[in-house]
């Protein structure tokens, strides 16, 4: 049994749900509750756990997450309890792709944030991401594997191997088979 908690993190729309699909296919137990149903933006589901969204107020559930993977947005990582070991699979995606994917989702909900200034948002996202990575680099109880989303889509076998090594052994072929390049939208490549 893994004595650490596996965290899948990154920005919204950066591929965290794909990483959770891969981990599940590879045999990793997930901590999810399926409160948020699959939709056109994530046809295979969101793989979320509601208490993770409230980590700033309550992270008491974290010790029970040992041996499992849970998805936690990058902004909440600093609320992880310091007395637990973590392996963090951190998704990295082109920020323009992240922005376009977020805007597409917001427009479909007629959300007013769908019309925000692109350059201002991209600049803010880049600064937040740099700050989060800087903070992570100074945590002794956290090991990080950066996953470049576009390359995971292009080379799922290679990245399944890297993930398996990082997480002490998973079914690499099943993980690679979970990657569906057709679901990669908003690509700039």
Burial class (CB in 10 A: 0-12, 13-18, 19+), 58: exposed
58 in any annotated domain: yes
Q: How confident is the model at residue 152 (pLDDT cuts 50, 70, 90)?
A: very high
Q: What is the pLDDT of residues 11-51, one digit of tens each?
A: 887 889 999 999 999 999 999 997 766 665 555 767 889 99
**What's the total number of domains in the chain?**
1
Q: Residue 110 above 80 pLDDT?
A: no
Q: Residue 137 above 70 pLDDT?
A: yes
- Domain of 119, in residue numbers: 5-183
91 in any annotated domain: yes
150 in any annotated domain: yes
Q: Residue 54 above 60 pLDDT?
A: yes
> E strands within the chain?
5-9, 69-71, 86-92, 142-148
188 in any annotated domain: no
Q: What CATH number has the domain bearing residue 39? A: 3.40.50.300
42 in any annotated domain: yes
152 in any annotated domain: yes
Q: Answer with the residue of higher pLDDT: 181 or 10.
A: 10
């Amino acid at each position: 049994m893994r004595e650490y908690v596996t965290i899948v993190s990154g920005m919204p729309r950066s591929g965290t749900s794909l990483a959770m699909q891969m981990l599940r296919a590879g045999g990793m137990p997930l901590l999810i509750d399926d409160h948020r149903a699959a939709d056109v933006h994530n046809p295979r589901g969101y793989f979320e756990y509601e208490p993770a969204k409230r980590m700033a107020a309550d992270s008491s559930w974290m010790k029970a997450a040992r041996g499992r993977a849970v998805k936690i947005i990058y902004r909440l990582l600093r609320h992880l309890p310091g007395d637990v070991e973590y392996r963090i699979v951190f998704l990295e995606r082109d920020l323009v792709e992240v922005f376009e994917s977020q805007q597409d989702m917001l427009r479909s909900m007629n959300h007013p944030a769908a019309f925000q200034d692109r350059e201002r948002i991209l600049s803010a996202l880049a600064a937040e991401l740099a700050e989060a990575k800087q903070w992570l680099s100074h945590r002794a109880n956290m090991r990080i594997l950066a996953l470049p989303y576009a390359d995971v889509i292009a080379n799922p076998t290679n990245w399944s191997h890297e993930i398996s090594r990082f997480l002490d052994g998973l079914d690499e072929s099943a993980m690679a088979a979970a990657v569906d390049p057709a679901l990669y939208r908003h690509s700039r490549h």
